[in-house]
Structure 1
Amino acid sequence: MARYRDYVRNDLIPAFGTLKLDQLAHRHISAFVTSELAAGRGKTTLYRCLATLSSALGDAVRQHRLAHNPASPPALHRPPSPERQIWTAAEAVRFLQHCHQADTEMADLFEFSSSPARRPVPARTGSPSHPASPPPSNTGPDQGPTPTATRSPDSSSADPTASRCGPTPSSTGSGSCPKKPACHG
């Protein structure tokens, strides 16, 4: 809310405050965009400022105070988002190590949210005892170990149901899988 207020006080009122509402035209808004860009204003900031103006003018149209919204079509379109770079495993490990030193509670949250166990796994075809393809390995030559406290069994596990059901008698030596009837048929 503070950002909208700042846009109105610091940008929109100084630029358009002398105009009556029904006098405001698209040419005024275009001139504002041109002058702000020439002054070095960032496109994203300017886009957000214009979105605030357009929203207010849209309310004026809905309240029948204006016949149309002079900020539509927009004088500046949404700038493209920069491409997001996915961290390497080494970068993720370094980040989690820093988090554990700075704030252990937040580090636990970040570690949990970056766990590969939380990502959806593509559906496999075939029967549970004969899967069509093995699950992806948690390590690789370029990836290093997955930065999580717990790891799922790798693709060389003797029990093909271990990745779906957790510990089994073969992997822990204690009891059976609690989901076995529902999970294994």
Structure 2
Amino acid sequence: MKRMLSLSLSALLLLSALVGCGSKDSGTASKTPEEYTEAYKTTIESARDDELNEAVPVVTSTEDDTASLVLSLIGVTDENTDAFAVAISPMNIKAYGVAAILPAEGKSEEVLEGVNAFVEQQKQSFEQYLVDQYEIANAAKVETLDDGTILLVMCEDQDTVLDAIKTSLNG
């Protein structure tokens, strides 16, 4: 399973690199919130297999069916974000979370605190419960990209997934 995931992610990374070689708009106009949201969602879904996409859907709006449950875990609201795509396991049996969040102006610290609090909560939940899931939570990656996007990657093979997401978003 891990080999298949690694091979799939490697293929995705290669595809992303090839797509990035295409012509780019030389303008410096930034993306709209809707464009960020779509890019985030597409990137997260591309970094996962169909089974995981179905089991843990990507939430992109506070109006989504599972939004109230998922977004409260990470502290995402309409007031503190301009765009987001969040996929978090709401079940306390798996340490899983992948999110790309563009904070609203002046809200970066608030969003980063919510993301880090989620990671800490996951560590505490699994520390004495499921050791393998604790290791995943403990290895979670939280980074802020040049455009202000905050990335969270908490899953198996998180380094590969993080690199694939960063490459796709920066490409």
Task: Report the TM-score when normalising by structure 1.
Answer: 0.25
**Larger Rg computed on CA atoms:** 1
Task: Report the TM-score when normalising by structure 2.
Answer: 0.27
- Structure of greater relative contact order (alpha carbons < 8 Å, 6+ residues apart): 2
